[in-house]
């Protein structure tokens, strides 16, 4: 019963952090739901360690990975080298699909 009443148990938005496990809430494709293992979800400590290692590595350049930088490098420019990359890709694909749907709806009005 608490699952439907308590704010702690409601579905969370993508990339928020579960307070007890420190797992990062990640978006999934429908076809991956049955095979997804929540124990293997990225954890905050893992991402922090990855980002520390990635930023310190002089061989990693987000420009070479297709990231367009406007001013200077920030930690967000390096996400594609982290374990969050596949989930961010899923999320960006979803956003693009929503934008296309919205554009199709508004162009017919």
**Local structure of 23: helix, strand or coil:** strand
How does pLDDT run across 21-35, given as a tens digit for each residue?
Answer: 899 999 999 999 999
CA distance 17 to 3: 17
Count the neighbouring beta carbons within 10 Å of the beta carbon of residue 41: 18
Q: Is 80:86 a contact under the CB 8 Å cutoff?
A: no
Assess whether pLDDT exceeds 60 at residue 3.
no
pLDDT at 24: 92
C-alpha 26/C-alpha 9 separation (Å) is 16
* Mean pLDDT of the region 2-13: 61
pLDDT tens digits, one per residue of 46-87? 998 988 887 777 666 655 555 544 444 565 667 777 899 899
Per-residue pLDDT band for 8 (boundaries 50, 70, 90) equals low
Three-class secondary structure of residue 43 per DSSP? strand
């Amino acid at each position: 019963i608490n699952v439907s009443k308590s704010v702690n148990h409601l579905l969370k938005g993508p990339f928020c952090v579960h307070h007890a496990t420190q797992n990062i809430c990640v978006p999934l494709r429908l076809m991956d739901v049955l095979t997804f293992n929540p124990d293997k979800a990225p954890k905050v400590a893992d991402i922090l360690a990855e980002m520390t290692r990635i930023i310190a590595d002089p061989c990693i350049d987000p420009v070479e990975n297709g990231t367009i930088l406007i001013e200077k490098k920030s930690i967000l420019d390096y996400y594609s080298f982290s374990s969050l990359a596949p989930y961010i890709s899923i999320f960006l694909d979803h956003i693009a699909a929503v934008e296309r749907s919205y554009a199709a709806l508004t162009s017919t009005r």
